[in-house]
Amino acid sequence: MELYELTLHELQDLLASGETSPAEIMASVLGRIEAVEDRVKAYITLNLDEARKKADNFKTYSKSLDGIPFALKDIICTRGTRTTCASKILENFVPVYDATVTRRLNDAGGILIGKLNMDEFAMGSSTEHSAFFPTRNPWDLERVPGGSSGGSAAAVAAGEAPFALGTDTGGSIRQPASFCGVVGLRPTYGRVSRWGVIAYASSLDQVGVLSKDVEDCALVMNQIAGYDPLDSTSVNIEVPDYTSFLNQDIKGMKIAYPREYFGKGVDPQITERVKTALKKFEELGAVVEEVSLPHSEYALPAYYLVATAEASANLARFDGVRYGLRDFEADNVVDMFSLSRARGFGSEVKRRIMLGTYALSSGYYDAYYLKALKVRRLINNDFQKVFENYDIIVCPITPTTAFKIGEQSGDPLTLYMNDILTVPVNMAGLPGISVPCGLADGLPVGMQIIGRPFDEGTMLRAAHVYEQNSGYHCMKPAGVR
Ligand code: GLN
């Protein structure tokens, strides 16, 4: 095995025993990037020289991420390294500060190698809406890696980064993780600081982890989770050691599977893989029962109202004045605003700004936005009711496996349908994890585990037991051997 193929915890072990060095790890990962990046195209920006220099200078290994390379979705601010959000409007934006999560990973000894591709402003499910180029799925280079954190999932799957961070507003960590056969965790809303993370829909956005296995996910969560006074929505409750939930059995654990998630529109091969996983949970001692989440079908339309409404407000700040692209031809300030935005935003972003502005406008606010908030409450109540009797919920993540590049890009509504099984978690602010549970026609299938608010631990416990008893996390992508 090459070093770039190893997990974070395997690299830590080798560093601790002196069998390898940060410089060797970095050389292996950068060598892998050189070998496959022109085909995968996961990165928007690479910090090769700086990363190499930092790895060469590493002398002591005392902190948990000492000498470990990592990469970030390009929505997360990095001091001195441009942060584009995959948009022309921020193409040359170089932040003067680090996001809290960036700072925490740096403080723990991690070394940033680069910034990863995504759908522009995290709006999309395929990474085809990047203003720069699409990223390709390492399992089949003709297919999308999912999105919007497609660069993060592809980089981890292809061995171009031991782990990465992404954001999940409506599924953007879990869905690409599932398409690329890696583990993806969206923590509870408020668990991880969003400070320095460019906002899409503030009441839904959450930063999380994409990794090669569940243990790595727990290790990275240990670094990024926790209260941040700079983020007023971050919650000040104790953060457990997430690795303490690993290697525990699940005897007696109560698992619910919602019938609405196994119905029409979900590829039968996916349903079958997840049902097989449920049997595995039963064999391992869990109690598995069917439940109902009756308002599930309203989650998608309600999500696309809430998300676009918040996006239209958040994106108002990109006016060509403070940062980003500015149009210099206009001869008055109003034209300067509108021309900068017309040139800087891509068509999907414009579509969402218009949708959201419409939903918030007087006369429509009650009919659309307020109605969507009421639906959100009902979805929340559905989950709360199930969690009165069950520890976790298990279901599929995506209706299909990775689709072909271009197959859905001309049809926004079809593309939005990809999120039907992921958005309820965001509407309710819950944690969710995607774990590989097999292949369908040679492409990865993911299983979704949903937890109670702030109970990422139980989710990780179930995910780890499943992973250790199934071994699907060891599958390697066929497209970049
Ligand atoms: N695909 C969803 C959207 O376009 C989710 C995106 C996300 O989670 N950032 O809104």
CA 336 – ligand 1 centroid, Å: 29
What is the domain extent for residue 124?
Answer: 3-256+387-474
Per-residue pLDDT band for 481 (boundaries 50, 70, 90) equals confident
Per-residue pLDDT band for 322 (boundaries 50, 70, 90) equals confident
pTM for this prediction: 0.97
Question: pLDDT digit string (tens) for 338-374?
Answer: 999 999 999 999 999 999 999 999 999 999 999 999 9
Q: Say if 60 falls within a structural domain.
A: yes
Number of domains comprising the chain: 1
**Residue 204: C-alpha distances to residues 183, 406, 431 (Å):** 20, 28, 11
Mean pLDDT of 35-39: 98
Per-residue pLDDT band for 327 (boundaries 50, 70, 90) equals confident
CA 15 – ligand 1 centroid, Å: 37
pLDDT reading at 63 higher than 90: no
Q: Say if 19 falls within a structural domain.
A: yes
Q: Say if 233 falls within a structural domain.
A: yes
Per-residue pLDDT band for 479 (boundaries 50, 70, 90) equals confident
Q: Say if 348 falls within a structural domain.
A: no
Question: pLDDT digit string (tens) for 222-252?
Answer: 999 999 999 999 999 999 999 999 999 999 9
- Tell me, what's the pLDDT at 51? 98
Find out whether the beta carbon of 128 lies less than 6 Å from any atom of ligand 1.
no
Q: Say if 370 falls within a structural domain.
A: no
Catalytic residue numbers read 73, 148, 172
Q: What is the mean pLDDT of the chain?
A: 96
Percent of the chain's residues with pLDDT above 70: 100
Q: Say if 379 falls within a structural domain.
A: no
Question: pLDDT digit string (tens) for 391-431?
Answer: 999 999 999 999 999 999 888 888 898 999 999 999 999 99
Q: Say if 240 falls within a structural domain.
A: yes
Find out whether the beta carbon of 124 lies less than 6 Å from any atom of ligand 1.
yes
CATH number of the domain within which 231 lies:
3.90.1300.10
Q: Say if 18 falls within a structural domain.
A: yes
CA 60 – ligand 1 centroid, Å: 40
